Amino acid sequence: MSSKQSILAFTLFMGLLLSGFADYNYLNNEGAKLLRMSKSELLERAHSGEGYAESLVGIFYRTGELDFPIDAEKSLQWTNKALDKKHPVAMTNMGSIEMDRRNIAQANYYYQEAFMDSQLLRWAENGDPIAAYCLGIVYSESNPKNYGKAIRYFTIAAEEGLGSAQAQLSTMYFVGMGISSNPEKALQWSELAMERGTANAYFNLGIAYSLGQGVDKDLKKAFQYLKTSAEKGFAQAQLTLGMKYVKAHGVDQDYMQALKWFKTALSNGMIEAKGPLMKYSIFVSEDELKQVLGQDPYKPSVQTAQKSETIAPASKLEGIDIRKTGKEFEQDFVSFTLNIPKLEDARISPGEIPEYETVGKPSKSPFVQGKIEEATKAMLVEKDFALAEKLLRNLALQGDPVAQRNLGELYFSSENQRTPNTDLAYEWLEKAATQGDVLAQRYVGMMFFIGNGPETDYNVARKWLTKAANQGDNEAKRQLKIFKRVFQ
Amino acid identity of 413?
S
Residues 321 and 433 in one domain: no
Average of pLDDT values for 161-171?
95
So what's the pLDDT on residue 363?
56
Residues 27 and 155 in one domain: yes
In percent, the amount of the chain with pLDDT more than 90 equals 42
So what's the pLDDT on residue 251?
95
Residues 283 and 251 in one domain: yes
Average of pLDDT values for 307-318?
32
Nearest alpha carbon to residue 32 among 114, 99, 109, 132: 132
Average of pLDDT values for 378-397?
79
So what's the pLDDT on residue 485?
58
- Cα separation of 362 and 350, whole Å? 28
So what's the pLDDT on residue 6?
53
Would 199 be classed as within a structural domain? no
Q: What is the CATH number of the domain that holds 377?
A: 1.25.40.10
Inform me whether the pLDDT recorded for 297 exceeds 50.
no
Would 352 be classed as within a structural domain? no
CA 404 → CA 105, 118, 370, 433, distances in Å?
20, 33, 15, 9
Inform me whether the pLDDT recorded for 313 exceeds 90.
no
Better-scored residue on pLDDT, 488 or 160: 160
* pLDDT band with cut points at 50, 70 and 90 for residue 264: very high
Q: How many CB atoms lie within 10 A of CB 260?
A: 19
Residues 244 and 319 in one domain: yes
Q: Are 92 and 134 in contact (CB under 8 A)?
A: yes
* pLDDT band with cut points at 50, 70 and 90 for residue 262: very high
Residues 405 and 284 in one domain: no
Mean pLDDT, the chain, integer: 78
The DSSP code sequence of 71-138 is -HHHHHHHHHHHHTTT-HHHHHHHHHHHHHTT-HHHHHHHHHHHHHSSSHHHHHHTT-HHHHHHHHHH
Which residues are within 8 A (CB) of 34 and not within 5 positions of it... i.e. 6 or more apart? Answer: 42, 45, 52, 53, 56, 130
Q: Are 79 and 91 in contact (CB under 8 A)?
A: no
Residues 33 and 144 in one domain: yes
CA 317 → CA 136, 299, 309, 477, distances in Å?
31, 13, 17, 33
So what's the pLDDT on residue 343?
30
Would 348 be classed as within a structural domain? no
In whole angstroms, what separates CA 36 from the centre of its chain? 26
Residues 252 and 372 in one domain: no
So what's the pLDDT on residue 117?
58
So what's the pLDDT on residue 103?
86
So what's the pLDDT on residue 362?
52
Inform me whether the pLDDT recorded for 345 exceeds 90.
no
Would 68 be classed as within a structural domain? yes
Residues 335 and 390 in one domain: no
Q: Are 206 and 183 in contact (CB under 8 A)?
A: no
Better-scored residue on pLDDT, 340 or 296: 296
> Considering its fold, how many domains does the chain have in total?
3
So what's the pLDDT on residue 476?
83
So what's the pLDDT on residue 464?
92
Residues 331 and 375 in one domain: no
Last residue of a domain, one of 125, 160, 195: 160
So what's the pLDDT on residue 54?
96
Residue 67 burial by Cβ neighbours in a 10 Å radius (0-12, 13-18, 19+)? exposed
Residues 59 and 103 in one domain: yes
Model pLDDT for residues 175-226, shown as the tens digit of each residue: 888 888 899 999 999 999 999 999 999 999 999 999 998 999 999 999 999 9
Q: Where are the alpha helices (DSSP H) in 268-345?
A: 274-279, 286-293, 326-338
Model pLDDT for residues 78-134, shown as the tens digit of each residue: 999 999 999 999 999 999 999 988 888 888 889 988 887 558 888 988 899 999 999
For residue 239, give its domain range: 234-343
Among 49-58, 76-85, 158-167, 299-308, where is mean pLDDT lowest? 299-308
In percent, the amount of the chain with pLDDT more than 70 equals 75
For 29-61, b/e burial (b = at least 16 CB within 10 A) is bbbbebbeeeeeebbebbeeebbbbbbbbbbbb
Residues 29 and 89 in one domain: yes
- Is the bond leading into 350 cis (omega within 30 degrees of zero)? no
Last residue of a domain, one of 310, 343, 376: 343
CA 176 → CA 185, 417, 418, distances in Å?
11, 6, 9
So what's the pLDDT on residue 413?
63
**Most confidently modeled of 254-258, 279-283, 343-347?**
254-258
So what's the pLDDT on residue 352?
33
* pLDDT band with cut points at 50, 70 and 90 for residue 294: confident
- Cα separation of 467 and 442, whole Å? 8
So what's the pLDDT on residue 58?
97
Model pLDDT for residues 19-53, shown as the tens digit of each residue: 343 344 545 688 899 999 999 999 999 999 999 99
Average of pLDDT values for 391-405?
87
| Long-range contacts from 421-428, C-beta under 8 angstroms, 24+ separation | 422/144, 422/447, 422/452, 422/453, 423/453, 425/144, 425/453, 426/453, 426/454, 428/396, 428/404
Among 12-26, 430-444, 449-463, where is mean pLDDT lowest? 12-26
So what's the pLDDT on residue 434?
92
3-class secondary-structure state, position 352: coil
Residues 428 and 472 in one domain: yes
Would 190 be classed as within a structural domain? no
Angle between helices 385-397 and 401-412 (to 10 degrees): 140
Q: What is the CATH number of the domain that holds 155?
A: 1.25.40
Inform me whether the pLDDT recorded for 9 exceeds 80.
no
Inform me whether the pLDDT recorded for 488 exceeds 70.
no
- Cα separation of 338 and 217, whole Å? 36
So what's the pLDDT on residue 483?
65
